Amino acid sequence: MRATAILATAAAVLTAPGVATAAGADGHPAAFAPAQRGGNPVLEDVARRMMAVGPPGYAARIGDGHRVTRTAAGLADIATGRRMAARDQFEAGSNTKTFTAVLALQLVDRGQLKLDAPVSRYLPQVVPNGRNITVRMLLNHTSGLFSYTGDENFMASLASDPQRVWTPQELLAVAFAHEPNFAPGTGWSYSNTNYTLLGMIIEKLTGRGLPELVRQRIAAPLGLRHTYFADPRAVHTGPGYAHGYGVRLAGPQPSYVDTATWPIGGWGGAAGAVISTTDDLARFFSAVLRGELFSAEQLRQMTTTVELPADFPMKGGYGLGLIRLDSACGTVWGHGGDTLGHHSIALATADGRRTVVSVANAEPFDAEPNAGWDRYYRVAMAATDASVCAMLGRPVPASVLEDLHSVGG
């Protein structure tokens, strides 16, 4: 979700079975503990390197049909010392965009929404130049609209007034105070504003709120028992909850701010307010790619991508709420998510058979980018490729290992 952490759309972390840390005397996670026998050596290495750059805990899941490997490492709660569990709930962040896109495409199937209709048809006099911005442009980030999370004052306010619940209209006011990044349809720019608008359109057309729609049209049909839309905060309804932490990396040792009680639904909304687990996200993305939630035509629309810019830190394309990642070991589909305390990614093969989902319960929290941020995202980017390789059963390329081993561990 943080505009300053754009690499998060591609970064993933995986941990190995039996890996754990304990809280040190200062409340920070202690050194990485060795894995138990029988762990995957690649994932053990990934976990070790990731633990060295700040987050207190991880959970991950690799699925291949009926064969599932769940992993967990570190701490879900620094204050109590509770260890991370593989089935813990967490803020899924921008993985929510795929949920929102599914709801939109279901409305297309029902004839209630047109992908190439202007936004002004559904939200008259709400969006500047809305008659030239289509619903499709919102979904694939080609609208040019400035992302409200790119506003420095807005981001600072999330830390200074963390319990504030923002309305969609307030978020739009932040975004529309800035000039568009480009004319509609002439470029690509990741913008949470696009999905705020989609959420407003969906609620207007259905007469229902997003929490109810996610529950009735996605979670219930797929049996996602621990997935819901935060309204506005995460509640501990599942088997456990991984606290999120803002981690400050500028000093000699990381320091942590517990963000577990902050209202992600009060600023993430349709762009990032879903709470889920690794199991549920794996089931969801598998269902999306198998076309279980909408027609084959809408799956075709969703997987029609706009190429990411050449200077973007990952290779691939962006469809309708879905990323095509051209990783070092092959092309996969999914999304990533960042809040003020969680960093996650969910990826699957095109047939939905193989999946990998992981979460780190920390996000860089310094006021300004620094060397710690660079280390975090460099290792996380390499961890994405390594995790995909592990999912596909392929060797990790030397160039990926070089980046993964560049710091820590």
Which residues are annotated as catalytic?
A: 94
Residue 355 has which token pair? 């999946």
Which phi and psi (to 5°) does residue 130 adopt?
A: -60, -20
**Exposure on the CB side of residue 98, measured as CA atoms within 13 A:** 32
| Strand 245-248 to 363-364 pairing | parallel
For residues 234 and 177, give the distance between their C-alpha atoms in angstroms, rounded to a whole number. 30
Distances (CA, A) of 161 to 189, 202, 266, 363, 369: 28, 29, 12, 18, 21
Distances (CA, A) of 400 to 241, 327, 343: 31, 10, 20
Is the previous residue joined to 232 through a cis bond, with omega within 30 degrees of 0?
yes
For residues 162 and 365, give the distance between their C-alpha atoms in angstroms, rounded to a whole number. 13
Distances (CA, A) of 378 to 26, 120, 214, 313: 27, 41, 34, 10
Angle (CA) 122-125-128 rounded to 5° is: 105
Q: Which of 325, 341, 298, 339 is nearest to 388 (CA)?
A: 325
Instruction: Say if residue 255 is exposed, middle or buried (CB neighbours under 10 Å; 0-12, 13-18, 19+).
Output: middle
Hey, what amino acid is at 1?
A: M
| Strand 57-64 to 67-77 pairing | antiparallel
The 10 Å Cβ neighbour count of residue 310 is 6
For residues 204 and 342, give the distance between their C-alpha atoms in angstroms, rounded to a whole number. 30
Instruction: Say if residue 407 is exposed, middle or buried (CB neighbours under 10 Å; 0-12, 13-18, 19+).
Output: middle
Which phi and psi (to 5°) does residue 75 adopt?
A: -115, 135
Residue 360 has which token pair? 């780190």
Q: Which residues pair with 402 in a beta bridge?
A: none
